[in-house]
Amino acid sequence: MSAKEDFFEPMDSVLQSFTPAARNWKPDWRSKQSSALPRIIEAGQIRDSSVPEGREHDEMLQLVQRLFLAPVPMSTRKVMFCGVETHHNGHVCANTGRLLATQTGAKVCLVDANLQYAQLSKQFNLEHKCGIYGKLVGWRDQCAYVGKNLFVAGTGLLGAGEGTLTSANEIRDRVMVLASSFDYLLFDAPGINRSSDTALLGQVVGAAVLVLEAKSTMKAAARKAKERLEAVDVQILGTVLHNC
């Protein structure tokens, strides 16, 4: 087998081995790397004016429909986005949340659980809201408003200090608080093969979307990631093939 054949490509047959949550799921939704996100800080709120366009918009919209708008019980209200070896899934999580919020009018909260790289926090410029973090502030109040129906919680919400997640019980309690305030919760997590935090968070959230990097994610690594998630009873809802 050549080196090229070890990587994922569009419509790769290995993708079909990932069990979808909804019937007729097509597990190769693709997204392109987003450019720098335009932001306007106004009246203490971070307004995000970036939304997917063109083909990316159409494919991400289908992903939203499959994940969240399918008939019950196939739809979900909490999902974790994680990579395999890399931590580049933050913009996939963000774009999914943007479209979910604008298409449904529901309240959506993105939660940054990638404590080392903090991609969501950087995308939405959350350092401008750093003053709200602290033990005396309620978990719901640590979510910054970033656009119509869309909120983002930085790494402080699930972090225990020193770049690690808090305990599973603490995560569960905080997620329960958020679930009572928001219709949908989307979590951005580190690569499952690189961080034990992802498996810990996955046990609480219960469902995940695996983000694969075209031309760089090895098939063996993707299988290992799938097995790691399944070992802790995390339901794999599907995959996103990114940068193809």
What is the DSSP annotation of 141-204? GGEEEEETTEEEE-TTTTB-STT-B--HHHHHHHHHHHHTT-SEEEEE---TTT-HHHHHHHHH
Statement: residue 138 has pLDDT above 70: yes
Rounded to whole angstroms, the Cα distance separating 133 from 124 reads 16
Residue 195 CB-half CA count within 13 A: 23
Helix (H) or strand (E) holding 55: helix 54-68
Say what angle helices 196-205 and 219-231 make with each other, to 10 degrees: 50
Kind plus residue range of the DSSP H or E element containing 206: none
Residue-wise pLDDT tens digits, 102-133: 888 999 999 999 998 898 998 888 864 443 44
The CATH number linked to 170 is 3.40.50.300
Q: CA-CA distances (angstroms) from residue 140 to 73, 90, 111, 136, 144?
A: 27, 21, 11, 12, 9
How confident is the model over 56-67, as a mean pLDDT?
Answer: 81
The reported pLDDT for the residue numbered 35 is 32
- Residue ranges making up the domain that contains 130: 4-242
Whether the pLDDT of residue 34 is over 70: the answer is: no
pLDDT computed for residue 215 by the predictor: 78
Write down the pTM of the prediction: 0.79
Whole-number pLDDT of residue 49: 43
Query: In the predicted model, what is the mean pLDDT of the chain?
Result: 76
Q: What is the pLDDT of residues 39-50, one digit of tens each?
A: 322 333 334 445
Any bridge partners for residue 184, and if so which? Answer: 108
Amino acid at 101: A
Total domains, the chain: 1
